[in-house]
Every structure is written in structure tokens, then in C-alpha cells.
Structure 1
């Protein structure tokens, strides 16, 4: 009788140990999914390096021309609703061609060349856009706006921190939706978050020629436990 009880106890103990080990060594089931959030926003800052160049053989005459044309340019900007707080007149850069040993002096038209830059940095997006679009009007005042690299208007979105929380929540919600679909397909249920990684936010033009509209995008990667 004692032998029978001992045998039963050993069998029960063996079963308990077996199921216990199965629970310990069974790996956690999980699914890793990605959630996307996109939002179109309006740019809130316009930056324009507005510059022109003039030449003269007299420094004093060059100075007077710079002052006169800069005032014309400032008046032009104010006509479009831009105030002096919206732009900065930077110091003129003057080149003395007579000091250039590699230049053929017989072909030099002007001894001095000056480049004047006015940096426009404003939240008045439409005003800057209109002023840029009509800048050829300045030609009648003797001002030819430089069209070299960096002369285009750059539109920026600076309020990313204001929309970050909502976008992260939306991306996470979309990730859970994908996880729930996977769980249904595998006869499982979505459990707690095991691990989550937030991707970088990207800000790009909404479309070519529509630089004042921005597309903000973020992707989150979330790993859920499956039950």
C-alpha cells in the first residue's frame, strides 16, 4: 500500500514538474508592428536671402548707390506688409578688383563691386511669397535681384513640439490596430507592450511648388505580447 502511494506521489510530482518546466521554458509569443502618422501643416517661417550687386569706380559713389538702392528695397518690402522687424540689412561685401593680381585689368569695368544682402525672416508667409514672386518689379528701379544658389525662399515649420504628442499617440494606435489584426489571424489576443521605439520625425514639402505646405511624418515600432 505504501509502495502504491509512493508511486502515485512520484507520478503526480513528475507531472507537476513537467508542466512547471513547460511554463518556464515556453518562449513569449509577440508581434512587432509599425504605426504611421502623417499630418499636413502650414509653414510658419519664411527665410529669404535677398541680395543685389552694383559696381562703381569710386567708393564714395558706390556707398551712395548702396544706401539709395537699399532704401528702395526696404520700401518695396514694406509695400507688401513686411516691417523692419521682419528683415535685417546686412553689411555690404565689397570687392576691390584692383587688388586681384590674377585679373586682366584691361577688362575690368568697375574697380569696386558691392553685394548687398537683406535677410528676410518672417512669419508673414503670404507677404514674403508675394514679394518674391514680384521681385522683377525692382528692375525698373535699377535693382537686379541675384538669382544664385540660396536666393530662393525657404519655408519652415517650427512648431513640431506642439503636434508631437498627438502624432505619436496616433502612430501607436495604428500600430495596435495592425497587431490586433495579426492576433485575430493567429487566434491570439494582444497583450501588453513589450518594447516600443519612436522613429525620427521628417518634415518635407507637401508637393513641388507647394513649399509653404509641409508634410510631417513619423513611424513608431511597437512589439506587443500575444496571449
Structure 2
């Protein structure tokens, strides 16, 4: 090989190494910069005065007699409603959900050592 061919080959190899080094450095810089960005999408805070609130009250009863548990829950519901009326709540402001009594022995994975058979919520 003559000197010119060696020089051209050396320059091409040097240029290839330089371009590869530049590409690697740009990739590393983009990789590092991606950790420093924050994206915010449209949820802004704003103070607003309101005269509406939802206040969920619940109560529970348990026992071995279905009717007894249901009557106790109805009595508790009446006591809660009376308490709220005494405090100034109107009928339109109070919404009573239906009472629910569950037989714990009929559940799919029920255990026989339950102290009470029926569990009720209101």
C-alpha cells in the first residue's frame, strides 16, 4: 500500500470513530435529561365555597335472630334520624339507605365458629 491509501484509510477510521463517539455522547445526554422532566396534565387547584356535603353515617348490629337484628337496626335508624332532626337537618337533607341483614352461615366460605349468625348494617 502506498502512503496516500494509508492516510485515507486512517482518516476514514478516525472519522468513523469520531462520529460514533458523538452519537454515543448525544444518546447518553438525552438519557440523562429524560429523568429531569415533569409532565403536568390539566388538574389545577382552585378554592371554591360550597354549601353541600355528604356525611355518611353507618351502624351495625349482630345477633342470632334475624327479626331481632332487623328490629334493632330499624330502631338505630330512627334514633339517628331523630338526632339529626334535633340538630336542624330537614327531611330533604337526610337520605336513609335500606337496611341490610346478612346470614353469615350461608356465605360461600363461612366458618361454623361464628359467634353470631346474622350481621346487619344500616
Is TM more than 0.5 here? Answer: yes
Q: Deviations over 1:131-166 (max 9, x none)?
A: xxxxxxxxxxxxxxxxxxxxxxxxxxxxxxxxxxxx
**Normalization by structure 2: what TM-score?**
0.57
Q: Deviations over 1:98-154 (max 9, x none)?
A: 102422212x111111110xxxxxxxxxxxxxxxxxxxxxxxxxxxxxxxxxxxxxx
Match of 2:103 in 1: 96
Tell me the distance in 2 between the aligned counterparts of 1:102 and 1:46: 38
Task: Flag as ranges the 4+ runs of structure 1 deviating above 6 A.
Answer: none
Match of 1:69 in 2: 76
SS of aligned partner of 1:47: coil
Q: How is 1:122-161 mapped onto 2 (pairs within 5 angstroms)? A: none
Match of 1:57 in 2: 64
Give ranges in structure 2 of 5+ residues lacking alignment: 1-44
Bigger radius of gyration among the two: 2
Query: Would you say 1:48 and 2:55 are equivalent positions?
Result: yes
Shift of 1:42: 1.7
Give ranges in structure 1 of 5+ residues lacking alignment: 1-37, 117-227
Match of 1:19 in 2: none
CA RMSD, 1 decimal = 1.8
Change (3 A) 1:39 1:98: closer
Q: How is 1:195-214 mapped onto 2 (pairs within 5 angstroms)? A: none
Give the number of the structure whose residues are more often strand, by fraction.
1
Say which structure, 1 or 2, has more relative contact order (CA 8 Å, 6+ apart).
Answer: 1
Shift of 1:39: 6.5
Shift of 1:88: 1.1
Q: Deviations over 1:25-84 (max 9, x none)?
A: xxxxxxxxxxxxx96432121112211111111111112101111111011111211011
Aligned length: 78
Give the number of the structure whose residues are more often helix, by fraction.
2
